[in-house]
Amino acid sequence: MKNSIKNINNILDISSLEIGYPNSSNGNKSIFSGINLSAYKGELIALIGQNGIGKSTLLRNITGLQKAITGNVKLLNKDINKYHRSEFAQKVSFVSTDIVKVANLKVYDLVALGRFPHTNWFGKIKEIDKGKIENAIELVGMGSYKNKNITEISDGERQRVMIARTIAQDTELIVLDEPTAFLDLPNKYEIVHLLNTLSKNENKTIIFSSHDLNIAIQEADKIWLMLDNKIYEGAPEDLIINKIFDKMFESSKLYFDKNNGDFKINRKRNKLVGLVANNSNLLLWTKKALERMNFSVEPDNVEIPYVEVINNKWIYRNKEKNEEFNSIYNLSLHLKSIN
């Protein structure tokens, strides 16, 4: 399938890769095997998988920080082990899960470290390096933070600076291990969107691991999905259509909601309730609230006890009597009390 695409620049080619810890005390300890993946120029790739499945190990193999047990990783059609370390650092940059909090370290100085593989022994920053550092800081939107200490900025801002460092490193491939792990929701979206923008505008190939499936589906060109014994590759939409995501949590209570591109809890719904509303927004959110309380909601069914929503009033109707509430919360309190 992927071999048919010849005209796109091939950046990374992983074939028959087995990852883990070679030569540990009891022989090789394999974590994941049979990995065949590829990455092309300008692609944003999200690596998805459960905790402990080997996402970080795979990324460490790609970035040359860890050796493979078998198989090989080719970067620009050359085995990564054949690169000299400084040549490799000019091609691949990495943001790990380690949070950099060094007192007195300026944003500019941290980004300037990206020029490390391009400068001489003394680390002399020339005009061309200065330009690349300034440009990298501007690209991630941190222009006004240049002289701030790295310890004085927020987690999301720090992550932007770490990304600026990889831009300054001027590599074909950027690899990030869970760049959104400790961020709040708006920052998660912004960071992944920034990666998307960089992959498109700067033509960088970017691989990042994440647990935020819905964000990855919205922004990534390609998903690498690590399941128990197989790794799937494809556009997020391909994986949705082919029901690959459903396999992710087959054994758990979660299921994949194709409409939202997100996982949901499969609830045991044992109580029936009808729902009538004249406003689709109120209908949606009342339905969500009732489902959270383990009701199985039947829209427009007035044969059973049902909730009617009129003009921001919630009326619970059953045979005995009608009761009116001015918020979903008060309705929920009542429903809890009668069950």
Partner 1 sequence: MQVKKLTIWIVLLLLVIALFFLDIFLGTVKIPLSEIFKILITGKSSHPEWIVIVNSFRVPKALTALAAGIGLSISGLQMQTVFRNPLAGPYVLGISSGASLGVAILLLGFSGVFIGSNFSIINNWMIVIAAWLGSGLILFVILAISMRVKDIMTILILGIMFGSATTAIVSILQYFSNESLLKAFIVWTMGSLGGVSKAQLSVLLPSVLVGIIIVSFLSKVLNAMLIGENYAKSLGLNIKLARFLIFLSTSLLAGSITAFCGPIGFVGIAVPHIARMVFKTANHNILIPATMLLGGGLLLLSDIISQLPGYDNILPINSITALVGIPVVVWIIIKNQRMASLG
Three-state secondary-structure class, residue 294: coil
Of 31, 53, 76, 113, which lies in the binding site for partner 1, with binding defined by CB under 8 A? 113
Tell the smallest beta-carbon distance from residue 96 to partner 1 (Å). 5
DSSP string, 255-283: EEETTTTEEEE-----EEEEEEES-HHHH
Distance CA 334, CA 112 (A): 61
β-pairing verdict for 205-210 and 44-49: parallel
Does 208 bind partner 1 (CB under 8 A)? Our answer is no
In terms of residues, how long is the chain?
339
Choose which of 32, 94, 232, 306 interacts with partner 1 (CB under 8 A). Answer: 94
| Least distance from partner 1 to the Cβ atom of residue 257, Å | 37
What minimum distance in Å lies between the beta carbon of 185 and partner 1? 26
From CA 165, how far away is CA 142, in angstroms rounded? 12
CA distance 148 to 225: 38
Q: Is 312:282 a contact under the CB 8 Å cutoff?
A: yes
Which residue carries 């939409």 as its tokens? Answer: 237
One residue of 30, 50, 90, 214 binding partner 1 per CB under 8 A: 90
By the rule CB under 8 A, 24 interacts with partner 1: no
| Near partner 1 by CB under 8 A: residue from 32, 88, 145, 306 | 88
- For residues 138 and 144, give the distance between their C-alpha atoms in angstroms, rounded to a whole number: 9
Binding status of residue 103 toward partner 1 by CB under 8 A? yes
What's the min distance (Å) between Cβ of 162 and partner 1?
Answer: 9
Are 160 and 138 in contact by the 8 Å Cβ rule? The answer is no
Task: Indicate whether 117 belongs to the interface with partner 1 (CB under 8 A).
Answer: yes
Instruction: Please identify which residue in 2, 41, 67, 106 interacts with partner 1, judged by CB under 8 A.
Output: 106
User: By CB under 8 A, is residue 107 in contact with partner 1?
Assistant: no
SS3 17: strand
- Site track for partner 1 across 228-267, x = CB under 8 A: ----------------------------------------
Tell me the number of residues near partner 1 by CB under 8 A.
Answer: 32
Q: Which range in 72-80, 95-103, 196-204, 299-307 contacts partner 1 by CB under 8 A? A: 95-103
* Choices 27-35, 112-120, 199-207, 235-243 (CB under 8 A): range interacting with partner 1: 112-120
Q: Would you tell me how many other CB atoms lie within 10 Å of the CB of residue 111?
A: 27
Q: Please identify, using beta-carbon distances, which residue of 93 and 180 lies nearer to partner 1.
A: 93
Side-chain-facing half-sphere of 41: CA atoms under 13 Å? 14
Alpha carbons 304 and 330: distance in angstroms, whole number? 21
Contact between 127 and partner 1 by CB under 8 A: the answer reads: no
CA distance readout (Å), 305 to 17, 129, 295, 330, 335: 59, 71, 12, 17, 11
The binder of partner 1 chosen from 5, 65, 265, 302 (CB under 8 A): 65
Give 153: exposed, middle or buried? Use CB within 10 Å, 0-12, 13-18, 19+: middle
Residues in region 153-182 near partner 1 by CB under 8 A: 169
Binding flag, residue 105, partner 1 (CB under 8 A) = yes
Cβ proximity of 307 and 290 under 8 Å: yes
| Tokens 């999301």 sit on residue | 156
Q: Are 51 and 30 within 8 A, CB to CB?
A: no
Rule CB under 8 A: say whether 102 interacts with partner 1: yes
Smallest distance from partner 1 to CB 259, Å: 40
**Span interacting with partner 1, options 31-39, 90-98, 263-271, 313-321, rule CB under 8 A:** 90-98
In the complex, the smallest distance separating the C-beta of residue 37 from partner 1, rounded to whole angstroms, is 20
In the complex, which residues of this chain contact partner 1 (CB under 8 A)? 63, 65, 85-90, 92-94, 96, 98, 100-106, 109-110, 113-114, 116-117, 119, 121-123, 151, 169
